[in-house]
Amino acid sequence: MDKHNQNILPGRYQVVPRTLIFIRNDDEILLIKGAVDKKIWTGLYNGIGGHIERGEDALSAAHREVFEETGLRNIQLDLRAIIFIDVEEYQGISMFVFLGNSKKKVLVSSEEGRLDWIKIDHIHNYPLVEDLYQFIPMILSTEKKIQFGRYYYNDGKLVMEFKK
């Protein structure tokens, strides 16, 4: 197909692609507590991740983000969810969520925030980004299928929908 046949039309839904990665070590999960100078989720725990850059696919971007934020390399990452997040009427975020395992717990520090290994059955005791209380148990389930979801806001409140 010719490049000129690939059109991005005004008024069409457009997304910014991002990755979100969770790494396990036995009964713990690696989360990052947002630095005080972050624009979003300051002081809250989230997974590792960030934007997919031009020239990257989702998996390559996930590996890059893991290395940049943790120093970990060669982690097997499995795609566990694809979520579209409506932000504006015609703009959103496409989130590619990966799960990996690491036997290594020594990590490098990052400007993004503080890394912590947290016992999975204690995550409800931590200040998490709001969707993670429900989302982490879902992607950690032994069922390996990919979850397809959509997030949107209704009267300022986050609504999470996943296909059954």
15: left (phi over 0), alpha (psi -120 to 50) or beta: beta
pLDDT tens sequence across 83-93 = 999 998 899 99
DSSP lists the bridge partners of residue 46 as 32
Domain 13-162 in CATH: superfamily? Nucleoside Triphosphate Pyrophosphohydrolase (3.90.79.10)
Residue 78: name the closest of 30, 145, 15, 9 by CA.
145
pTM of the entire predicted model: 0.92
pLDDT tens sequence across 148-157 = 999 999 998 9
Q: Which two tokens stand for residue 134?
A: 């429900």
Strands (E), the chain: 14-25, 28-34, 45-46, 48-51, 77-86, 91-101, 113-119, 147-154, 157-162
Per domain, the residue ranges of the chain are 13-162
